Amino acid sequence: MRILDKIASGDGATKFLLGLDDDARIEAVFLRLEDNNKDSLCISSQVGCALACRFCSTGVIGFSRDLTPEEIVEQVELVLDDLGFVQRRRFDLSYMGMGEPLLNLDAVVSSRDLLRERFKDFTFYVSTVGVTAGIRELARRSPDFGLQISLHAPTDELRSQIMPINRAHPIAEPMSTVDCTTSGCSARPATAAPTTPATRPATTPTASTATPPNTPKPSTSAKTPSPRH
């Protein structure tokens, strides 16, 4: 893996274009979030994406293949080493770049385990468009992950227009897999009784409220397109 291009903006974001050994390309974005007194890295889990969200450039490309755990780890190490990164405050690592991480869950969980060996104090998040089965499996296998659900629209009608997955899995379905409070949401294990969709109001997208994943209520957010979009 190698860095093909790097673009820094004035708002603390640096976008990396990375070349893989088979000449496929992925992107990662490093963010210095001064207002929140933390840093963040948004990384890819797949080459392309099969879910075809209308607002996302990756969805236009289409799906090529999953990244391996080793490729995900190398992506993180390459970016942070290039920046000369030294952790001095909270750091969030989000599987929020190219691809749907819950459709490559084995590699996501394995890469997180490998990354923790070097970056013990990182906070890990998965951002999903609402893959219901994947949310339940994540809760079973790795409940300490932070969870962010990408809504992008307050109603099923609007969401279905911009996110094809909503036609098969309306908002109420992925939301029924999480337990929500005013502080955020955590994935509900598959053994728990699901919330009746008819009793749950439509959820309006909100900005991410980061909560360390070792607390019982990791964040739910609307997935804001990274600078690559």
pLDDT tens-place string over residues 128-153: 998 988 988 998 888 888 888 888 88
Cα distance between residue 221 and residue 19, in whole Å:
30
Confidence (pLDDT) at 144: 84
Cα distance between residue 73 and residue 18, in whole Å:
13
Closest CA to 42 of 178, 229, 214, 174: 229
Interior CA angle at 139 toward 162 and 188, to 5°? 80
Map tokens 């942070």 to a residue: 80
Residue 222: what residue type? A
For each successive 10 residues of the chain (229 residues), what is the average pLDDT?
93 94 95 89 95 88 94 96 92 95 96 93 92 89 87 90 91 78 50 35 33 37 39
Confidence (pLDDT) at 191: 43
Confidence (pLDDT) at 211: 35
End-to-end CA distance of the chain: 22
